[in-house]
Amino acid sequence: MPSLRALLSRRLRALRAMAMGSGSMGSMGSMGSGSMGSKREPVLSPSSMNAAIRRVQYAVRGPIVTRALELEQELRQGVPKPFKEVIKANIGDAHAMGQKPITFLRQVSALCLFPPLLSDPSFPEDAKARARRLLAACAGQSVGSYSASPGLDVVRADVAQFLQRRDGIPADPNHIFLSSGASEAIVTMLKLLVWGSGRSRTGVLVPLPQYPLYSAALAELEAERLSYSLAEDRAWALDLPELRRALKEGRGHCCPRVLCVINPGNPTGQVQSRECIEEVIKFAYEERLFLMADEVYQDNIYGEGCEFHAFRKVLAQMGPPYSDTVELASFHSLSKGFMGECGFRGGFMEVRNLHPEVLQELSKLVSVRLCPPVPGQILMGALLNPPEPGEPSHQQYQEEKAAVLRALAERARLTEQLLNKIPGIRCNPVQGAMYAFPSIQLPPRACAAAQAAGQPPDLFFCLRLLEGTGICLVPGSGFGQREGTFHFRMTILPPTEKLQLLLEKLGNFYTNFVKEYS
């Protein structure tokens, strides 16, 4: 081995030259032969890897997005395209679409991240008060220290108070776990619930269409996914008989233990009525299902007569035997609502009626990842303690919040209206959340062309749309849809004028596409 060292500098020079030549070390693998050392079969190959991971799919960041990034790169390099920019309407990423952060939240964060700013007179006192309180809760008064694994105690207490304010139902801080976005908490909860083999393997009821985090997590955990279809002809309402059907079918081959509900719906944008929530809770009680309520879009309600009802609230109000029996985990996040702070990866979950021993197991499981990102916890702490009337930031905070929600409501209506003007496209009201999920008719010849290309027809359409217009959407097949129907998911986040333009371009493209293939 020591003789190897003698060759060192020469080798390094040669390597450097090669790297420069190829422009990328990524191609090192292909060059190995003869004196450069031969390339062997790797330890980790597509055939030797974890098969469950291979089955994971995540359309929101799938091939369409990869292609969109390539197109952006090409545009930057000056490659001529029939469009000037790629519009990413594929993901609920508000700031990327130009939404401005809420000033107060960022002020509190900046103060915590760099405490010398606490003596800067340009920061308002209410932001400083929040920052001081949060810093006092961090070990060593630094956001750089680990927090307790379930999150900072004061923020968990804030969450409990927020839930009580929102629902009039008390919450126990010990039953609140801060998380790295809602996704992490959902996966953690599922991890606890999934076990058994064969017919005793855990089955999980999820809506169809669904947010692909669920299908991805279930594939990875090798759980059985049991889809219940939402009723597209009733504005994507949750249909109890369909839920019963899915459960019954599932019982034939696995052990259904969990029911996931997304309210407001992603990608479908429906807002669940109180009555429907009660029915779901009764169903979960009767059928002994663990309930998971994904409520990250709770602030995003636009439809007239629609109101958000938290599962925990309805559950508590239904009284015994439901309120003290049905096991429920509900999820919330910093990424949506009016704040749209996706990058901070902040979120929380509240559990109800969890077995005390399971609560311990949950605490243990979250301790392995040490703690949720503290800047996200800080932002959550700021969000849950907004400026009160009379405080210096109150007015600006309220204005910023209202402006975002107003704009989203306007875009929700605009999107629905404009999409429904396009013959062949039908869009349910966007009652809530951040997406339209219209059905589109695709001509048989387009379907044949898609088949020839080895793509689902709606992916084929979305790829063509991307190439032709720069508009990036996610095909319905990434979320699941009834056989023979096609959809896409589009966010309503682009600024109104841009959104209008986008919808016109989309309409024109679709019309021409249908012509081309009929």
Partner 1 sequence: MHRFVLAAKQAAASLGCRNPRSGGKNAALRCATSVAADGPSRGSRLPRPAREGTVRWSSAAKASPVKINEKASREKILTLESMNPLVKALEYAVRGPIVLKAGEIEKELRKGIKKPFTEVIKANIGDAHAMGQRPITFLRQVVALCTYPNLLDSPSFPEDAKKRARRILQGCGGNSLGSYTASPGINCIREDVASYIERRDGGVPADPDNIYLTTGASDGITTILKILVSGDGKSRTGVMIPIPQYPLYSAAISDLDAIQVNYYLDEENCWALDVNELRRSLKEAKAYCNPKVLCIINPGNPTGQVQNRKSTEDVIHFAWEEKLFLLADEVYQDNVYSEGCQFHSFKKILYEMGPEYYNNVELASFHSTSKGYMGECGYRGGYMEVLNLHPEIKGQLVKLLSVRLCPPVSGQAAMDVVVNPPIPGEESYSQFIKEKESVLNSLAKKAKLTEDMFNKIPGMHCNPLQGAMYAFPRIFIPSKAIEEAKVHKMAPDMFYCMKLLEETGICVVPGSGFGQREGSYHFRMTILPPAEKLKILLEKMKDFHIKFLEKYA
CA 170, CA 249: separation in Å to the nearest integer? 37
Q: Residue 83 gets which letter from DSSP?
A: S
x/- binding map, residues 376-415, to partner 1, per CB under 8 A? x---------------------------------------
Rounded to a whole number of angstroms, the CA Rg of the chain reads: 25
> Which residue from 48, 41, 88 is spatially nearest to 68, judged by alpha carbons?
88
- In the bound state with partner 1, the residue whose beta carbon lies nearer, of 149 and 439, is 149
Given candidates 176, 204, 218, 339, which one binds partner 1 under the rule CB under 8 A? 339
Task: Find out whether 291 and 318 touch, Cβ atoms under 8 Å.
Answer: no
> Which residue shows structure tokens 């220290």?
145
Distance, CA of 59 to CA of 212 (rounded, Å): 7
In the bound complex, what is the minimum distance in angstroms from residue 215's beta carbon to partner 1? Answer: 10
Q: Is 16 in the site for partner 1 (CB under 8 A)?
A: yes
Among 375, 381, 429, 470, which residue interacts with partner 1 (rule: CB under 8 A)? 375
Structure tokens at 38: 């031969």
Question: What would the DSSP string read from start to end of 431-468?
Answer: -BTTEE--EE---HHHHHHHHHTTS-HHHHHHHHHHHH
Q: Of residues 241-280, which lie at the interface with partner 1 (CB under 8 A)?
A: 257
Considering beta carbons, is residue 102 or 422 the nearer one to partner 1? 102
Residue closer to partner 1 (CB basis): 114 or 398? 114
| Parallel/antiparallel/unpaired status of strands 176-179 and 347-352 | antiparallel
Calculate ∠ Cα 187-190-192, nearest 5°. Answer: 115
Residue 348 parent element (H or E): strand 347-352
360 binds partner 1 (CB under 8 A): yes
Please report whether residue 293 would count as binding partner 1 according to CB under 8 A. Answer: no
Instruction: For the CB of residue 483, give the shortest distance to partner 1 in the complex, in Å.
Output: 25
Q: Is 305 in the site for partner 1 (CB under 8 A)?
A: no
Note if the bond before 121 is cis, omega within 30 degrees. Answer: no
* Only segment of 230-238, 303-311, 323-331, 409-417 that touches partner 1 (CB under 8 A): 323-331
Among 177, 108, 167, which residue's Cα sits nearest to residue 349?
177
Name residues whose C-beta falls within 8 Å of residue 10's C-beta, 6 or more positions apart in sequence.
Answer: none
Instruction: Tell me the window of 3-11, 161-169, 270-278, 413-421 that interacts with partner 1 (CB under 8 A).
Output: 3-11
Distance, CA of 210 to chain centre:
11
Query: Do residues 7 and 35 make contact, with C-beta atoms less than 8 angstroms apart?
Result: no
**300 near partner 1, rule: CB under 8 A:** no
Interface with partner 1 in residues 408-467 (CB under 8 A): none
- φ, ψ dihedrals at 80, nearest 5°: -70, 135
CB of 102 to partner 1, least distance (A): 9
Answer yes or no: are the C-beta atoms of 445 and 470 closer than 8 Å.
no
Which member of 44, 79, 136, 452 binds partner 1 (CB under 8 A)? Answer: 44
Q: Which is nearer to partner 1, 341 or 416 (CB)?
A: 341
Residues 331 and 295: their CA atoms lie apart, in Å, by: 6
Q: Report in angstroms how near the CB of residue 422 gets to partner 1 at its nearest.
A: 28
Helices (H), 25-76: 28-31, 51-55, 63-76
- The verdict on 231 binding partner 1 (CB under 8 A) reads no
Q: Which is nearer to partner 1, 354 or 514 (CB)?
A: 354
Nearest distance, CB of residue 411 and partner 1, angstroms: 16
Restricting to residues 173-212, which ones interact with partner 1 according to CB under 8 A? 180-181, 183-184, 191-198, 200-201
CA neighbor of 476 nearest in space, from 502, 456, 498, 492: 456
Between 212 and 303, name the residue whose CB sits nearer to partner 1. 212
Show contacts with partner 1 in window 57-116 (CB under 8 A). Answer: 57-58, 60-62, 69, 88, 91, 93-101, 106-107, 109-110, 113-114
Of 170 and 423, the one with the shorter C-beta distance to partner 1 is 170
496 makes contact with partner 1 (CB under 8 A): no
Least Å distance, CB 512 to partner 1, is: 30
Binders of partner 1: how many residues, by CB under 8 A? 127
Nearest-approach distance from CB 253 to partner 1, in angstroms: 15
| Ranges of H-type helices in 319-429 | 356-368, 374-383, 394-420
Q: Is 144 one of the binding residues for partner 1 (CB under 8 A)?
A: yes
Binding of partner 1 at residue 56 (CB under 8 A)? yes
Binding of residue 216 to partner 1 (CB under 8 A): yes
